[in-house]
Amino acid sequence: MKKILSVVGARPNFMKMAPIHKELLKYKKKVTHRIIHTGQHYDKKMSDVFFRELELPKPHIFLGVGSKSHTQQKAEIMTEFEKVVMKEKPDMVLVYGDVNSTTAAALVCAKTDYNGKTTIPLAHIESGLRSFDRMMPEEINRIVTDNLSNYHFITEKSGIKNLLKEGFSSKNMFMCGNTMIDSLKFYLKKINKSKILKSLSVSEKNFALITLHRPSNVDNLKNLKKIFGIFKGINKINPNIDLVFPIHPRTQKMIEKFGLEKSINEIQNLIITEPLGYLDFLKLTSSAKYILTDSGGIQEESTVLKIPCLTLRENTERPVTYEVGTNTICGLNEKLILSNIKKIESGKYKRGKIPEKWDGKSADRIVKILLKKI
C-alpha cells in the first residue's frame, strides 16, 4: 500500500485539496491519503466550516501552529511536519497554492532522512503562477515551492511559460486544469440551500461583493482609506446597490488598529459580515452583480461564473482571468475602477470565456498521473 500526504493550512488550500482527496478515495486499495493541517488558519470560520461543507474528514494530523511571524510560522511547521514525515514515511507529499504552509512543507520534503531516502517526492498543485512582485509573500512561496517540487501541476498556460523560462523540465509539467474549479462546479449544485441572501437582506444582482486581505491593501492606512473612498464613489454611480463585505480577520484587526471603525460605518449601503463558509460565499459570488477583490482564487471563481471582477491589485499571477475571463486589474486606481463599474452598470463590460481545462475534471487528471509516479 502506498501513502500520500496532503499538507494544507490556510483557507484556499481546502477547496483545492478536497477534489484530490475524493478522487484518491476511489483508489483506496492502492493508496492511503492522509490530510495534514498545519493550523495556519485556526478560527472555526476560517477552517472547520470548510472541512464540514467540503465533506472532508477531520484532518488526520493537526500541527496546531497558528499565527506567528512568517519566519516563526514556517519554522514551527517545518519542525512539526518533519516529525510527521519520519513517522508516516510517505511515498509522495502534495502541497497546494502559495501559502506559508505550502513552502514550509516543501522545505521538509527537500531534505529529510528516513529509510535511506534524503528527499520525498513532492508535487505542487497550482504550480508555475507568477505575479513578478516579490513584495508579495506568496510570490516567494511560489518560487521556493516550485524549485523544490518534482512534479508541477499547472492550472493555466502562463504557468508552463514561467517554469520553462526558469529552466524547469517540461517532462514533469502537467497542465491538468484547476482543482479549485472542480470544487466550485461540484458545490454549485448545493448552494440553493444557502440562506445568505435573505439573512443579509440583499437580492440577486443588486449587490457588489467585496473581499480584501492583502497586506499591501489592508496593512497600509493610506491604501485602506483610499479603498473606503472608492466604496463611497460606487454609491454615487448607483445609490441602490448594496456592498457586501465579509471581513477577513487580518482586515478586521487592521481597521481596529488604525481606528477606522467610524469611517467604515459611514459608508452607505455597506453590509459587513464575519468570514463566511464555502457555500454561503459561493452563493454570494454567483449572485453578485460584480466583485471587488484582492484575492487570487476569487479572480478564478468569478471567471468561471462569468461575474465581472475588478481586482484591487497592481498585478495578478493568474493572467488567464483577464486575458480570457471577466477580470480587470485595477490596482487602487479610482478612476479605472469607477469607469469599469459604469460599464458593468450599463451592460457594456466584457463577458469572458472559460479557460482551458477548467471543467471540473482536474483532480481526475492529476490523480491518474500521481498513481503512475508513486
Helix, strand and coil in the chain, % to nearest 5 = 45, 15, 35
Known catalytic residue at 213: yes
State in angstroms the smallest separation of the CB of 28 from ligand UD1. Answer: 30
Cell for 88?
Answer: 508516516
Q: Regarding beta strands 122-127 and 92-96, do their DSSP bridges make them parallel or antiparallel, or are they unpaired?
A: parallel
Site residues (CB under 6 A) for ligand UD1?
Answer: 10-12, 40-43, 46, 67, 98-100, 137-138, 213, 249-250, 253
CB-wise, 36 or 99, nearer to ligand UD1?
99
Is residue 149 packed enough to be buried (19+ CB in 10 Å), middle (13-18) or exposed (0-12)?
A: buried
State in angstroms the smallest separation of the CB of 282 from ligand UD1. Answer: 16
31, β-bridge pairs: 2
End-to-end CA distance of the chain: give it in Å, rounded.
Answer: 10
State in angstroms the smallest separation of the CB of 154 from ligand UD1. Answer: 19
State in angstroms the smallest separation of the CB of 118 from ligand UD1. Answer: 27
CB-wise, 177 or 297, nearer to ligand UD1?
297
CB-wise, 303 or 340, nearer to ligand UD1?
303
CB-wise, 43 or 55, nearer to ligand UD1?
43
CB-wise, 286 or 295, nearer to ligand UD1?
295
Phi, psi of 37 (to 5 degrees): -105, 120
Q: Give one DSSP letter per residue of 232-254, joined into a string.
A: HHHHHH-TT-EEEEEPPHHHHHH
State in angstroms the smallest separation of the CB of 248 from ligand UD1. Answer: 6
Strand, helix or coil for residue 219: coil
Of 37, 124, 213, 248, the catalytic one is 213
Length reported for the chain = 374
Cell for 158?
Answer: 502562463
HSE-CB at 298 with a 13 A cutoff on CA atoms is: 28
Strand, helix or coil for residue 182: helix
CA dist., res. 368 & res. 374, Å (int): 11
Please check whether residue 209 is in contact with residue 236, taking contact to mean a CB–CB distance below 8 angstroms.
no
State in angstroms the smallest separation of the CB of 69 from ligand UD1. Answer: 9
Phi, psi of 211 (to 5 degrees): -135, 140
CB-wise, 46 or 336, nearer to ligand UD1?
46
**What are the residue numbers of the active site?**
213
